[in-house]
Amino acid sequence: MKQKIIFFLFSILFFLKGNAQCAMCRAVLESEEGQATAEGINNGIVYLMAIPYILVAGIGYFIYRKYYSKSK
């Protein structure tokens, strides 16, 4: 069980470092001189992508916990 939890935590931390820009956004933002705007857009996209996954994982955990607590 601990291995599953550790794998889950590492997988969450791993995808937060990924690049999430679409091709159009990347082309426009790379043409700028400073990359601060591109980094901000990228972080915003990753943030918006991560929240639904965290919510679904939390709901799944509570369903899992309720199911196994009643069966015992």
Domain boundaries along the sequence of the chain: 2-71
What does the H/E/C string look like for 12-68? HHHHCCCCCCCHHHHHHHHCCCCCHHHHHHHHHHHHHHHHHHHHHHHHHHHHHHHHH
Q: How confident is the prediction for the chain on average, in pLDDT?
A: 77
The amino acid present at 45, given as its one-letter code, is I
51-71 pLDDT per residue, tens = 899 999 999 999 989 888 865
18-59 pLDDT per residue, tens = 555 566 766 777 777 777 777 777 788 888 888 899 999 999
